[in-house]
Amino acid sequence: MAFLSKQTAPSLPPPEKRPRHIGFILDGNGRWAKKRGLPRKLGHREGAKTFKTIARYCRNLNIPYISFYAFSTENWKRPKDEVDALMKLFDQYINDVREFFDLETKLIFLGDKERFTPELREKMLAVERDTAHFDKMTMMIAINYGGRDEIVHAAKQVAQLAKDGQLDPDTLTEEQFAQYLYTAGVPDVDLLIRPSGELRLSNYMIWQCAYAEFYFTNVLWPDFSPKELDKALIDFAGRGRRFGGV
C-alpha cells in the first residue's frame, strides 16, 4: 500500500502497465466543505463535479472498467438533510447522464435498489438498459452498496439454487460464485484509490479487491484531479503483482 502526498508526476506508464479496473472510494466531500465553512451538501456537489471529470479522463485513457463508491448501506445513518441532498444529487446525475453517451460507456448501478423510490429505481434501470450496448468502457456506481451485503445476497441465491437441486455446492468454485455478485462479468479491481487520508476499504468490494493494489492520498475527493490520478497510475505501474507467486 502507498500513502502519497502531492508531488510532480512524470509521464504516464504505457497502456499495458495500466490497470483494467480502477475502483474509487469517494471520500472527503464533507471535510472539504467544512474546511471552507460551507454546508456538507455543497461538498457533495463539488464531489459530483470531480466524479464527472475523472470518469471522462478514464475514458480518454482507455481504462476499460471504473467503479465509484458513492453511497454505502451505512450512509443512511447520516443526518437526514445530508442524505436528502445526496439523493437529489443522484437523481440530477441520472437526469444528466446522457451527457456521457458520447463516451459510449455502459453504466451499471451496484447495490440494493429496493431502498430507493420507485421513480428513482426506474430511472436507474432505464439508464442501464439504454447504455447496455456500449462497449468502450464500463462504469459502475455503487449506491446503497456494502461488500458484506453483496456477498450475503449472492450466497442466498446460491443457497436457493442448491435447495432447488439446480446447483451442487460441493462443486461450486470461486469463479461460479462470483457470477452471483453485483459485478458478475466484470474483472476484479486492480487499483483501489481512496482519497481523504483514510486507510481502510469501508466495506467496498471486499471480494473483488482480494488482490487489488491500494493507493491512499491525503487529497480530498473534490480536489482529486486528473493529475492526481496520473500519480496513482505511475505508482501502480511500479508495483510487483505476483498474485501469490514469486
Q: Which residues are catalytic?
A: 27, 75
Location of C-alpha cell 478514464 = 58
Handedness of CA 9, 11, 16, 22 (dihedral sign): positive
- In DSSP notation, 174-232 reads HHHHHTTSTTTTSPPPSEEEE-TT--S-TTSSTTTTTTPEEEEESS-GGG--HHHHHHH
The rounded distance, in Å, linking the Cα atoms of 212 and 87 is: 30
Question: Shortest CA distance to 88 belongs to which of 117, 127, 112, 126?
Answer: 117
